[in-house]
């Protein structure tokens, strides 16, 4: 599971959990006002590429990896990558709201520059997946909210079946979509 921060990766992880997928998550970042159903992160994933020994224990499990770190995943393992894409206006608004709630400073980059950096990083991620033959499914956040059942079915199929797509679709709570595209 991957995407830029605040793109909807936690929602997709929640869907996978509801559908019966085993997750690799440690609760190191608990639910809060910005993500009331939890982040479902695995702290060691944030240390890629310096530390990747934990990957052997991740086989068969869904784990969230920030988009910029995916290309550092070692070729010794096999992956399926789900990339969540969200409207940039929503990503930036969500990031700004989260930072304001935490009393943290906004990124030093102008919004247009930050979007350009993210776009370049996502381009590198997609190119890495193609070059390495890593199956990649792109999920549009807006479509996920509007059509959770077909997106859940696509996710379940992409991940090899065996997941409860109906339960995955029910995990989508549109009321939690607070920053909307303009």
Confidence of residue 179 (pLDDT cuts 50, 70, 90): low
**How much is the pTM?**
0.93
Is 175's pLDDT higher than 80?
no
Tell the burial category of 47 from Cβ atoms under 10 Å away from its Cβ (0-12, 13-18, 19+).
Answer: exposed
Nearest-angstrom CA–CA distance, 77 and 70: 12
pLDDT band for position 180 (cuts 50, 70, 90) = low
Q: Nearest CA to 179 among 106, 97, 103?
A: 97
Q: How confident is the model at residue 176 (pLDDT cuts 50, 70, 90)?
A: confident
Q: What does the pLDDT look like over 68-127, one tens digit per residue? A: 999 999 999 999 999 999 999 999 988 888 888 889 888 888 999 999 999 999 999 999
The tens digit of pLDDT for each residue in 112-169 reads: 999 999 999 999 999 999 999 999 999 999 999 999 999 999 999 999 999 999 999 9
Q: For residues 98 and 34, is the Cβ–Cβ distance under 8 A?
A: yes
* Mean pLDDT rounded to a whole number for the chain: 93
């Amino acid at each position: 599971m991957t995407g830029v921060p605040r793109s909807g990766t936690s929602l997709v992880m929640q869907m996978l959990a509801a559908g019966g997928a085993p997750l690799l998550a440690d609760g190191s970042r608990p639910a809060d006002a910005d993500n009331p159903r939890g982040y479902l992160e695995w702290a060691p994933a944030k240390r890629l590429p310096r530390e990747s020994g934990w990957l052997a224990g991740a086989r068969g499990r869904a784990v969230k990896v920030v988009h910029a770190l995916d290309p550092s995943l070692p070729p010794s393992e096999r992956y399926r990558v789900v990339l969540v894409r969200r409207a940039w206006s929503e990503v930036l608004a969500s990031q700004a709201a989260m930072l304001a709630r935490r009393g943290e400073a906004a990124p030093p980059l102008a919004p247009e520059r930050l979007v350009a950096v993210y776009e370049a990083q996502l381009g590198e991620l997609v190119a890495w997946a193609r070059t390495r033959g890593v199956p990649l499914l792109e999920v549009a956040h807006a479509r996920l909210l509007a059509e959770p059942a077909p997106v859940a079915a696509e996710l379940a199929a992409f991940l090899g079946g065996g997941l409860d797509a109906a339960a995955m679709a029910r995990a989508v709570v549109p009321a939690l979509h607070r920053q909307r595209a303009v």
